[in-house]
Amino acid sequence: MEIIVETRPGKLRGLLENGVAVFRGVPYAAPPFGELRFRAPEPPPPWEGVRDALANGPTAVRRGYRPPLDEILAEVAIPGEDCLNLNLWTPGLDGRRPVMVWIHGGSNRNGSNAVPLYDGSAFARDGVVMVAINYRLGVEGWASFPDAPDNRGLLDQIAALTWVRENIEAFGGDPDNVTVFGESAGAIDLGVLLGVPAARRLLNRAIIQSGGPAAAHRAAVSKATGQIARRLGVPATAAAFADVDEERLLDAQAAVMGKSGLAGGPQLGPVIDGELVAGPPEDNVDPEVEVLIGHTTEEYRLWFVPTGGVDRMGPLMARLAMLKMGVKGRVWRGYKALYPGAKPGEVFGLVLTDRLVRLANRRLAEGRPIGRTWLYEFAWRSPERDLGAAHAMEIPFVFDALAMPESRWMVGENPPQGLADEMHAAWVRFATTGEPGWPAWNPSTRPTMVFDADSAVVEDNRAEVHALWD
């Protein structure tokens, strides 16, 4: 059954699928090519008649994940220039329902709203209008040029939120009750947006999954841009890059960014530009926004286990890596004592997980007003490929999508549906009421919801780990 909705740019034709109205490939900005390449997004051109919104729209320019991650993380490539689009699921066109907007992860170089796991049907089933957005990736969205605005990916995300503000009521959504949620790079971008006034006006709550507010200094991103330019043999300007063949540009980007990793390397992502991002984003998160923030227990295993890195790293290599990151010897010794049976690569990975995510989450909570922040940890361990509680493992549970084949690539054949019921309900509850269902962070008891086959609120979660870093 077809459904037609009128938006500011024009009428859209969607479909009713299992009781949910779905609109796909909806343009929220003009195609960022031609004269608009490397520019801030412009509003979508209006159209006459009814525009079909029946299929996923084009995805941003990028390469797929490198092996072996391509066998674990789903990726979809759809050619076309109209890549600044969104997908939308709604239980009905009447009323004013809570809205959730998903910003996908992928290191700001991969991912799209067309990934099957990001289907919003379960959220619509439970009374939420859900939107999943695309934004420019890699050089297109994040390289730093003297003749183009920085943070084009962030500007795209703000343009998508602006579209939601202006049009979501026509889809039965409440523009005054918008929760933005993101994972990995999407969570980092969201953390930055929480300190940007132009974005803050467009959202009410945030769910930050395995990331947090962080941006590089312009010099670091300019350096990565310069390395790509030297590979191409052109000046590090937007005008010069615009004349480069797309495949050559992707080749150069892959060659340079292949040197980056969890512990450092060339950077393409949010930049402190003094304008959109005025300063360190971790210092500028709006104190009034309600934030649910968390991580997986073993983030590192997504990168270290499938590649065999966890087995290749011996004690000396692990210790040298710790020294390079400035981790004190007593911290390293403390982790080895806490995890006596762990391999050196596993201990290194646990230190890295905690340093990059767990400690940052706690610092963010400690710096915010009491009653505005909730913490969680995803601890369920997948047997698939020995991934354990790896990065991105919570996504199929949050989206209540365990039955999808793409979920089984990560969670295996018999994941606990009860955990999906629990996490998905918490996300919906937070978007609807502002409370996920457990106590907000406070400095006295420091509560964290630990999601597992048997979930529980844990006070002062992993205090022995935090004590090592104090």
DSSP class of residue 261? B
Would you say 206 and 99 are in contact if contact means Cβ atoms under 8 Å apart? no
Indicate if 166 belongs to the active site.
no
DSSP class of residue 382? B
Catalytic residue selected from 140, 298, 299, 406: 299
Indicate if 391 belongs to the active site.
yes
Catalytic residue selected from 112, 121, 184, 455: 184
Integer Cα distance of 100 and 129 in angstroms: 6
CA 421, 427, 431 angle in degrees (round to 5)?
Answer: 140
Catalytic residue selected from 391, 406, 407, 455: 391
HEC per residue, 137-203: CHHHHHCCCCCCCCCHHHHHHHHHHHHHHHHHHHHCEEEEEEEEEEECHHHHHHHHHCCCHHHHCCC
Indicate if 48 belongs to the active site.
no
Integer Cα distance of 103 and 156 in angstroms: 11
**Pairing assessment for the beta strands 290-296 and 271-272 based on DSSP bridges:** unpaired
Would you say 439 and 372 are in contact if contact means Cβ atoms under 8 Å apart? no
- 356-388 CB burial, b ≥16 within 10 A, e <16: bbbebbbebbeebeeebbbbbbbbbbbebbebb
H-type alpha helices, 246-314: 246-257, 301-304, 309-312
Nearest to 293 by CA among 213, 357, 208, 390: 208
Q: Does residue 251 sit in helix, strand or coil?
A: helix
Active site residues: 184, 299, 391
